[in-house]
Homo-oligomer: A and B are copies of this chain.
């Protein structure tokens, strides 16, 4: 349960406090004092979670968050100095997974870190939306998929893959992207593994596996979920 955590906070006292608490929980920490370092270290070290103060020299936390979010799904927790709603709104808008407003209790911070870490790796944590594509319905909250009303039992990975594809029907995802988004970004598997899952998935949801109606192969690129042409 230990993780590598980046702490971006320009006030050394604050940083030390956070560091102390998190290390007591068995995590290893890395402290940086400004936004640019935060960005660099996140890219280089790929921590399991980043804690970003919003007000920082050079690049502010919001920008760092925005940039990071564009590159990865790493869990990000924002520290907002003021508890004005604008800050919170902005933070979430920018893609943060959670926020803590100062002054905070270190205990709360640690708890939220813990919660975020547990949820990391869980696909669709923030994407609990009922998706419908043609005769295919999926409900991430219930871990349920129905084809033409008939429920289908999928495994975790199969569900994850379908979820990724369904997030943007018609768009082609490479195997690398699928592994990243469905399995978690620290998952090391061969790309061919995706093929195996896709096949199992097809066997469960396709009427004719040779002529997939939903999960289609794009030769040399990857897979996609076909947009269903409403036949009416």
Contact = CB atoms under 8 A, between A and B. Distances in A.
Contact of A30 (B29, B88, B93, B128): B128
Interface string A167-182: 0101110101001100
A30 B155 contact: no
Contacts of A132: 36-37
- Interface residues of chain A: helix, strand, loop or mixed (majority): mixed
A221 to B, nearest CB: 5
Given A33-B129, A128-B31, A143 B172 contact: yes
Contacts of A105: 85, 89
A118 B176 contact: yes
Nearest to A129: B31
A104 B98 CA distance: 20
Contacts of A172: 141-143
Contact of A143 (B20, B25, B98, B218): B218
Contacts of A129: 12, 15, 31-33
A172 B142 CA distance: 5
Interface residues of A, number: 66
Interface in A7-35: 12-13, 15-17, 19-20, 25, 29-33
A111 to B, nearest CB: 4
A13 B155 CA distance: 28
A158 to B, nearest CB: 10
Nearest to A9: B129
Interface string A203-231: 00000000000000011110010000000
A117 to B, nearest CB: 9
A71 interface: no
A130 B93 contact: no
Interface stretch (A48-56, A59-67, A72-80, A183-191): A183-191
